Structure 1
Amino acid sequence: MAEMVKKLKTTKVQAAVSAHCSAGDVLCDVCTEIKHKAVKSCLVCLNSYCEEHLQQHENLFKGKSHKLIEATGRLQEIICPRHDRLLDIYCRTDQLCVCYLCTIDEHKSHDTVSAAAERTDKQTILDDTKRKYHQRIEQIEKELKELRETVMSHKRSALAAVNDTERIFTHMILSIERRRSEVTQHIRDQERLQ
């Protein structure tokens, strides 16, 4: 009987969750029965909070430096598995994000910068590359347009040449036919005179 009640409660909770949240929403880690949609995630507590629990969190940790970000279900991906700290430093030597304590241990003599600074650098490089590709695409499109215009010009020239050739040869054929007819007539006239 207890097992059936437990299954019924689980089914109710799951139905309530699906009624309040859509697919892809991050759920509040503090809500117990009905999970509400999380609006913020705390990088210190490693929890995501709905509006109600966020207010409780802010009241509880007022004046303490708890960094809040937009709700994310990827909290574990941005936290160091060894030190449970935010991966906020980028190790250029190993090309990966590490936490502050990692820079003291295994990344001690490595070239490190803040993750935000590295992101800005990478974004600048990406924007520059994107701009260069965009310019190259525009250049290729311009060249393609010029090539199409050249092809059309050649087609028009070829058509004009064909038309001129047809006209000239038609005129020559008519002229030859006329001359042949004149010669034939002249020969017949000479034949009659003799």
Structure 2
Amino acid sequence: MMAEAQLCGLHDEITCSLCLDTLTDPVTILCGHSFCLKCISNYWDQSQECSCPQCRHTFTKRPELNRNTLLNEVIKKLKKTTLSSPPSQNYAGPGDVECEFCTGKKFRALKSCLTCPASYCQTHLWPHYEGAPWKGYKLVDPDRNLKEKICEKHQKSLEIFGKTDDSCICMMCVVNGHNGHKMVELETEREEKQKQLEATMSDIKRGLEEREKTLKETRRAMKEMKVSGLGRQHFISKRGEINE
């Protein structure tokens, strides 16, 4: 449990701000911020200028990237210590995702793997961090709906959205049946749909506000008409009393 606390306390220091995951092959650039080697390389490959994604400091020329050996060792030791710690009082409760490899009373899953696909507790997860065959497997927060994110035909994670067929597909689907179709990454499509939803919600909100404003103006006008009518009646009544 102490190791978990150490990881939580160092979360910002060992997390890549680009992929939002624990640093892999960490490199520290001249401004002092650290990123995964692959993440910062891809970021600069796609940018017009070389700048820090975190503080926006711009470099006149692309800096040479050297692995931060010390930071890399710290992360490895923290992971090893955390994963080897006994998961006491960590049994799955109501609403938790259970580890699929525990026998008897099951522990709570720490991560779900979209590549496997399966969910793992601390003890059974360690090969994904240390074992070469599992390198590159996609780990996500515990998910009880893994089957919905897996291609039924190929048993691979759904990573692509086929715009032509309006469906989520895996990489095997791309090769075997969707070649030539218009496709985007699933995350890109999700972000686009989110933007569209936010725009729609904004339009609805603006329409409701306009209707509310119109309703208030109508009520105010009706109230003024009512007050004006009462004043006229009072005037007529008083005038009648005087004439008598």
Q: TM-score range by the shorter chain?
A: 0.7 to 0.9
**Residue in structure 2 matching 1:31, options 86, 102, 119:** 102
Q: 2-side partners of 1:22 and 1:167: how far apart?
A: 80
1:120-169 CA-to-partner distances (Å, cap 9, x unmatched) read: 11111111111111111111111111111111111111111121121122
1:26-81 CA-to-partner distances (Å, cap 9, x unmatched) read: 10111111111112101122110112222344233487111110000111111111
Report the alpha carbon displacement of residue 93 of structure 1 after superposing the two structures with TM.
1.6
In structure 2, what is the equivalent of residue 110 of structure 1? 181
Relative to the length of structure 2, the TM-score reads 0.59
Q: 1-side partners of 2:226 and 2:209: how far apart?
A: 25
Unaligned runs of 5+ in 2: 1-89
Q: 2-side partners of 1:153 and 1:22: how far apart?
A: 62
Q: 2-side partners of 1:62 and 1:55: how far apart?
A: 12
In structure 2, what is the equivalent of residue 90 of structure 1? 161
Q: 1-side partners of 2:241 and 2:197: how far apart?
A: 65
Unaligned runs of 5+ in 1: 1-18, 175-194
Matched, 1:153 2:233: no
Matched, 1:135 2:206: yes
Alignment map for 1:1-194 (pairs within 5 Å): 20-61=91-132, 64-172=135-243, 174=244
Q: Conserved in 1, the CA contact under 8 Å of 2:128 and 2:135?
A: no
Relative to the length of structure 1, the TM-score reads 0.73
Identity among equivalent positions (%) equals: 34
SS in 2 for 1:150: helix
Q: Conserved in 1, the CA contact under 8 Å of 2:97 and 2:142?
A: yes
Q: 2-side partners of 1:39 and 1:148: how far apart?
A: 57
Q: Which has the higher helix share?
A: 1
Q: 1-side partners of 2:134 and 2:103: how far apart?
A: 27
Q: 2-side partners of 1:126 and 1:155: how far apart?
A: 43
Tell me the amino acid that sits aligned with residue 187 of structure 2.
A
Equivalenced residue count is 155
Return the index of the structure with the highest Cα Rg.
1
CA RMSD, 1 decimal: 1.9
Which structure 1 residue ranges, 4+ long, deviate > 6 Å from structure 2? Answer: none
In structure 1, what is the equivalent of residue 74 of structure 2? none
Tell me the amino acid that sits aligned with residue 40 of structure 1.
K
